[in-house]
């Protein structure tokens, strides 16, 4: 098992579940350090029941992680495959985002079955409703919104809060709806500057003392540029807060621990049953799994009804 790409809260809960269910099912479980980099280097150790004690509540990944450019090269990939053979690894669990699972797919095409678990705060994988770490990340953003509101309303300011998510706007969208932001901008929709300015002015005229503009990092205008335009066109003093890596850390929420534990359990079960290469996800409340390649080819679309609701509720 390895974790790869950006870490996400709940990865440790998934590691723990894979190890414990694996051992319970009479398999030997090995942990690979630093993702595909560690696989190439042979940083592989046998895991025991106690090696995953006291980690369910910890953010990050105790196996550590990396983004490996070398693994993408022919030579690096061959070394990784050689290492799997040296250690007689018969199946691999990859916990990570789309790039990490795509790496797993290339391994599976060379003959080693791979089970993918969606570990990323971005919630950008089409085959699953939720990814491990997304819920915690949204909660971290909510806590930041609370703090920013206090100071913004004291100073009667607007604040552009920039959140992560790459090309996916889910962190921004869910945090905006649940945090009561006045405006939300996501990469899936073109920003409408006129409408943003109009809404902010209307809010001010109704007596709003501050406004929160939640902006996903993938939107095609920089946060500072947006803040400058708002200040110039509305007269409202507008600050920028880029939340950055705080969104990736912290103790995982109950929801992420639950998701990670159930998905880790399913991964071990699929390997035990020789089910081939699968991607584990959740649809509604049900843990599901798809052929790994099919899962990665699914096209993602954001939930427009959440956007509409966020708009209505922030009137
Ligand atoms: O994929 C998770 C993520 O945190 C994205 O939201 C963000 O764009 C990216 O990783 C940052 O990557 P890095 O850790 O390499 O700076």
Written as tens digits, the pLDDT of the chain (315 aa) is 999 999 999 999 999 999 999 999 999 999 999 999 999 999 999 999 999 999 999 999 999 999 999 999 999 999 999 999 999 999 999 999 999 999 999 999 999 999 999 999 999 999 999 999 999 999 999 999 999 999 999 999 999 999 999 999 999 999 999 999 999 999 999 999 999 999 999 999 999 989 999 999 999 999 999 999 999 999 999 999 999 999 999 999 999 999 999 999 999 999 999 999 999 999 999 999 999 999 999 999 999 999 999 999 987
How does pLDDT run across 173-223, given as a tens digit for each residue?
A: 999 999 999 999 999 999 999 999 999 999 999 999 899 999 999 999 999
Extended strands (E) in 9-67 = 30-32, 44-46
User: Is 40 in the same domain as 97?
Assistant: yes
Residue 87 lies in a domain: yes
Per-residue model confidence (pLDDT) at position 315: 77
Per-residue model confidence (pLDDT) at position 297: 98
> Where does ligand 1 bind, in terms of residues with CB under 6 Å?
6, 67, 97, 120-122, 164-166, 217, 248
User: Is 24 in the same domain as 169?
Assistant: no
User: Is 57 in the same domain as 163?
Assistant: no
User: Is 243 in the same domain as 260?
Assistant: no
Residue 307 lies in a domain: no
User: Is 204 in the same domain as 259?
Assistant: no
Number of Cα atoms under 13 Å in the Cβ half of residue 11: 31
Q: How far apart are CA 99 and CA 201, in angstroms?
A: 42
Q: How far apart are CA 247 and CA 216, in angstroms?
A: 12
The CATH number for 233's domain is: 3.40.50.460
Query: Which of 102, 42, 91, 118 shows the shortest CA–CA distance to 67?
Result: 102
Residue 273 lies in a domain: yes
Active site residues: 122
Structural contact between residues 17 and 56, judged by C-beta atoms closer than 8 angstroms? no
Read off the tokens for 85. 């053979």
Which ligand 1 atom is at minimum distance from the Cα of 218?
8
User: Is 189 in the same domain as 260?
Assistant: no
The angle that helices 170-179 and 304-313 make with each other, rounded to 10 degrees, is 30
The CATH number for 81's domain is: 3.40.50.450
Residue nearest to atom 4 of ligand 1 (CA): 6
Specify the pTM.
Answer: 0.98
Boundaries of domain holding 141: 137-248
User: Is 37 in the same domain as 127?
Assistant: yes
Sign of CA dihedral 129, 132, 134, 135: positive
Total domains present in the chain? 2
Structural contact between residues 301 and 123, judged by C-beta atoms closer than 8 angstroms? no
Pocket test for ligand 1, best of 59, 96, 100, 166 (most atoms within 8 A of CB): 166
132 DSSP assignment: B
Structural contact between residues 98 and 105, judged by C-beta atoms closer than 8 angstroms? no
User: Is 109 in the same domain as 256?
Assistant: yes
Pocket test for ligand 1, best of 3, 6, 249 (most atoms within 8 A of CB): 6
The angle that helices 223-234 and 193-205 make with each other, rounded to 10 degrees, is 50
Strands lying side by side in the sheet with 158-163:
183-185, 211-216, 158-163, 238-242
User: Is 122 in the same domain as 146?
Assistant: no
- 166 alpha carbon to ligand 1 midpoint, in Å? 7
Q: Which helix (H) or strand (E) holds 306?
A: helix 304-313
Structural contact between residues 52 and 15, judged by C-beta atoms closer than 8 angstroms? yes
User: Is 128 in the same domain as 271?
Assistant: yes
User: Is 73 in the same domain as 39?
Assistant: yes
Residue 271 lies in a domain: yes
Q: How far apart are CA 256 and CA 153, in angstroms?
A: 32
Residue 207 lies in a domain: yes
- What percentage of the chain's residues is helix, strand, coil (to nearest 5)? 50, 15, 35
Residue 308 lies in a domain: no
């Amino acid at each position: 098992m390895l974790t790869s790409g950006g870490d996400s809260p709940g990865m440790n809960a998934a590691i723990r579940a894979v190890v414990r269910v694996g051992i319970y099912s009479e398999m030997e479980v090995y942990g690979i350090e630093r993702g595909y980099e560690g696989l190439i280097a042979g940083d592989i150790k046998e895991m025991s029941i106690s090696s995953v004690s006291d980690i369910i509540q910890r953010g990050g990944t105790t196996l550590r992680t990396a983004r490996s450019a070398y693994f993408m090269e022919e030579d690096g990939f061959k070394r990784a495959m050689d290492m799997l053979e040296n250690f007689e690894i018969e199946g691999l669990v990859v916990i990570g985002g789309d790039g990490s699972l795509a790496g797993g797919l290339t391994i599976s095409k060379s003959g080693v079955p791979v089970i993918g678990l969606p570990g990323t705060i971005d919630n950008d994988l089409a085959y699953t409703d939720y990814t491990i770490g997304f819920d915690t990340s949204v909660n971290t953003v909510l806590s930041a919104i609370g703090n920013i509101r206090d100071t913004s309303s004291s100073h009667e300011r607007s604040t552009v809060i920039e959140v992560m998510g790459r090309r996916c706007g889910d962190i921004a969208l869910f945090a905006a709806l649940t945090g009561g932001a006045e405006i939300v901008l996501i990469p899936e929709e073109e920003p409408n500057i006129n409408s943003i300015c109009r809404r902010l002015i209307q809010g001010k005229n109704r007596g709003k003392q501050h406004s929160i503009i939640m902006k996903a990092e993938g939107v095609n205008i920089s946060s500072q540029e947006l803040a400058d335009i708002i200040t110039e066109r509305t007269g409202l003093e507008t600050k920028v807060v880029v939340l950055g890596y705080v969104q990736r850390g912290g103790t995982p929420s109950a929801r992420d621990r639950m998701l990670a534990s159930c998905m880790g359990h399913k991964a071990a079960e699929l390997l035990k049953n020789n089910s081939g290469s699968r991607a584990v996800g959740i649809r509604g409340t049900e843990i599901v799994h798809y052929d790994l390649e099919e899962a990665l080819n699914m096209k993602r679309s954001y939930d427009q009804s959440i956007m509409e609701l966020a708009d209505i509720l922030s009137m």
